């Protein structure tokens, strides 16, 4: 049986995004990824964009995704690693959108970071030789390839209530790999020099 501490990260994240949605669109406008505003020095948007959503259906889809990820992978890492993954995933996705998608003027949503979480979890599954990790990794890679060549999955834009920025999913997945590699190497260094303590 999991302790309350196990659920702190997803519950906190869910409460924050729900509160932001409840406050309304004016707050969301101040938080969303806005290319011109970021280039003008509003750097908080690099992270806060991932906490704002298009509407309640978009939010609900992402909360379902967060719950699924936690059910599959939450036990693999302590909260501090998941928080680090959120911060690096948010910054990484936003930075790559800024650099590689100059035509994109604004963006909101947690889905890019959820791909960071998902890849991080899949790779941990594979490292621990759990049966599902490889299959899940192949499935998400197939989904990402489909999105890059054919656009959003059928029905996803209708469910989200707006345009799906599929590049954010790809960038989030890349950052999931980066975070996994960093955590893995840090663990090996601790083992070698500090005995894993």
Give residue 46's Cα distance to chain centre. Answer: 13
How far are the Cα atoms of 72, 151, 195 from residue 163, in angstroms, in the given order?
28, 10, 49
Q: How far is 188 from 194, CA to CA, in rounded Å?
A: 10
pLDDT of residue 1: 53
Q: What percent of the chain is modeled with pLDDT above 70? A: 97
pLDDT band at 4 (very low <50, low <70, confident <90, very high): confident
* Residue-averaged pLDDT of the chain: 93
* Tens-digit pLDDT profile for residues 39-85: 999 999 999 999 999 999 999 999 999 999 999 999 999 999 999 99
What pLDDT score was predicted for residue 162?
86
Residue-wise pLDDT for 91-124, tens only, equals 999 999 999 999 999 999 999 999 999 999 999 9
The CATH number corresponding to 4-194 among 1.20.1540.10, 2.130.10.10, 1.10.3720.10, 1.10.10.10 equals: 1.20.1540.10
Q: What distance lies between CA 59 and its chain's CA centroid? A: 13
Quick one: pLDDT at residue 2? Answer: 65
């Amino acid at each position: 049986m999991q302790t309350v501490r196990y659920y702190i990260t997803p519950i906190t994240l869910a409460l924050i995004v729900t509160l932001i949605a409840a406050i309304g669109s004016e707050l969301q406008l101040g938080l969303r990824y806005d290319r011109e505003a970021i280039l003008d020095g509003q750097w908080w948007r690099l992270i806060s964009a991932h906490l704002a959503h298009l509407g309640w259906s978009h939010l609900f889809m992402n909360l379902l995704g967060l719950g699924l990820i936690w059910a599959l992978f939450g036990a693999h890492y302590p909260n501090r690693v998941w928080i680090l993954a959120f911060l690096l995933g948010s910054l990484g996705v936003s930075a790559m959108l800024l650099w590689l998608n100059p035509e994109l003027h604004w963006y909101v949503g947690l889905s890019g970071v959820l791909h960071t979480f998902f890849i991080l979890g899949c790779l941990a599954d594979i490292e621990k030789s759990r049966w599902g990790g490889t299959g899940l990794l192949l499935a998400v890679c197939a989904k990402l390839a489909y999105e890059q060549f054919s656009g959003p999955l059928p029905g996803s834009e209708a469910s989200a209530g707006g345009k799906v920025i599929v590049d954010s999913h790809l960038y989030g997945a890349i950052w999931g790999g980066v975070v996994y590699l960093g955590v893995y190497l840090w663990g090996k260094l601790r083992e070698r020099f500090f005995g894993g303590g």
